[in-house]
Structure 1
Amino acid sequence: MIVLFFYVVLGEGLVALLLMFEIGPLRELGMKGLDQVKMRRATVLTIAATVFVILLSDLFSIFKIQNKGAKHGAMTPMDQVLWRTNVLEATLMGFFLFLGLLIDRMHHHMRKLDELKSSNGVSKEEFDRVEREKLQLKENQEKTGLEVERLRKEISGLTENVKKLKLESTEKDKSVKSAEARVASLQKQTAELLLEYDRLLEDNQNLQNQVER
């Protein structure tokens, strides 16, 4: 049992070193191996619980042997062998559980770190895309500004033309009114001339009648 735990603890130590230091592809292989182990989580927890129970049993035996030796003043050689064996076994099992927990936490945090790196990569791509869209939007705004300025100039030109047309229309209205006034004056003069003509005809007719008499 002690030899088995010794090799298991040694293996856990090597796995912990592989996780701590990146040595070629060994870290990735170790991570994949731990992924496979975590897929059998129930089995792992069962083994850990069994080792913990044995550890408690060894600790109980250690205290029992110590109390027995204290009562008799000293431990017998057999008790000393059992005590040392239990201490060594408990120590190895304690290291086994501690390294197992350490490896589990290291694996968990390294996977989280990989996820963060991946999300940062996606975030960088998203940031680049937003920057490109921002640049394109800025170019569109500049183009729109130029177009608005051009339309403003066109509108200003059209406004000037409208003002000119209004002015010309006002002048034409004045000319029309002046022409209408002249026409009305001519019509009045024509009517007066016609009246004068009729009077002269009448006077002429009267003179001719007087001459014939």
Structure 2
Amino acid sequence: MIQLLFLVLFAEGAVAFLLMVKIGPLRDLAMRMLDQLKTGKGPATVKTLACTMSVILLSSIASIVKIQNRGLKLGTVTPMDQVLWRTHLLEASLIGYTLFLALVIDRLHHYLNKMLTLRKTASSSREEVERLRRDSKEKEDKSLNEVKKLKDEISSLNEKLRKLKLESKEQEKRAQEAEAHVSSLQKQSEELLLEYDRLLEDNQILQGQALSLRG
């Protein structure tokens, strides 16, 4: 029994050491082993063993107390009782250390699983943040490109508007010149009409004089 307890204690110590110190893939191997141990019938088996060892521990403590009480009553402890007392004390100590290491291993396994879950969550959160940053950057670049296009279009429209204004001014100037030319032509036409009327009058006067001379 004591040899078996020493073996279990050393095995638990090795597992606890591997969980606390990362040595290559050994920690992952220990974690997978504990995961398998906690699935299926594993938890029930471990609880049964823990209860059995607890009963043995209580029995050993009771035997130690019994031997001590017997020695107090007799005033001396026989060599056989001393051997039994030391055996029960060693057995109780080994069982206590074994149960304590089992509890430590269980807590280490729990917190390591929690830490791995948090790391995965943090990693997925970082990936999500990076994706959002990329999307934001793409949207920002797209918006900048659209703003640039709109600015180019506005600049082109302003240039067209400026050209249209210049053409409108030129056409207005031409219209004014044409209007001035028409006005000048109308004035010349009126002068010609006046000259024509004067010539008609002169002609009629000349014709009258010619008729009078003939008569």
Matches within 5 A, 1:128-147: 128-147=130-149
User: Following the alignment from structure 1 to structure 2, what is the Cα–Cα distance between the partners of residues 50 and 155?
Assistant: 92
Which residue of 2 is the match for residue 36 of structure 1?
A: 36
Query: Is 1:68–2:70 an aligned residue pair?
Result: yes
- When normalised by structure 1's length, the TM-score is 0.70
Which residue of 2 is the match for residue 15 of structure 1?
A: 15
Runs of 4+ in 1 over 6 A off after TM superposition: 157-167
Unaligned segments of structure 2, at least 5 residues:
170-215
Q: 1:102 aligns with which of 83, 101, 104?
A: 104
Which residue of 2 is the match for residue 187 of structure 1?
A: none
Which residue of 2 is the match for residue 93 of structure 1?
A: 95
SS of 1:24 mapped into structure 2? coil
Matches within 5 A, 1:191-206: none
Shift of 1:100: 0.5
Which residue of 2 is the match for residue 55 of structure 1?
A: 57
Q: Deviations over 1:86-139 (max 9, x none)?
A: 110100000110110111111122222222222233223222212211211121
Shift of 1:154: 5.5
Farther off after superposition, 67-76 or 152-161: 152-161
Query: Is 1:25–2:25 an aligned residue pair?
Result: yes
User: Following the alignment from structure 1 to structure 2, what is the Cα–Cα distance between the partners of residues 166 and 42?
Assistant: 97
Which residue of 2 is the match for residue 189 of structure 1?
A: none
Instruction: Among all aligned residue pairs of Structure 1 and Structure 2, give the percentage whose two residues are the same amino acid.
Output: 45
Which residue of 2 is the match for residue 182 of structure 1?
A: none
Shift of 1:148: 3.0
Q: Deviations over 1:168-201 (max 9, x none)?
A: xxxxxxxxxxxxxxxxxxxxxxxxxxxxxxxxxx
Shift of 1:142: 1.0
- When normalised by structure 2's length, the TM-score is 0.70
Shift of 1:165: 11
Matched pairs, number: 213
Which residue of 1 is the match for residue 179 of structure 2?
A: none
Q: Tell me which amino acid in the other structure corresponds to 1:70.
A: L
Q: Tell me which amino acid in the other structure corresponds to 2:132.
A: V
Matches within 5 A, 1:135-174: 135-153=137-155
Q: Tell me which amino acid in the other structure corresponds to 2:4.
A: L
User: Following the alignment from structure 2 to structure 1, what is the Cα–Cα distance between the partners of residues 46 and 148?
Assistant: 70
Which residue of 2 is the match for residue 172 of structure 1?
A: none
Shift of 1:61: 1.7
Which residue of 1 is the match for residue 117 of structure 2?
A: 115
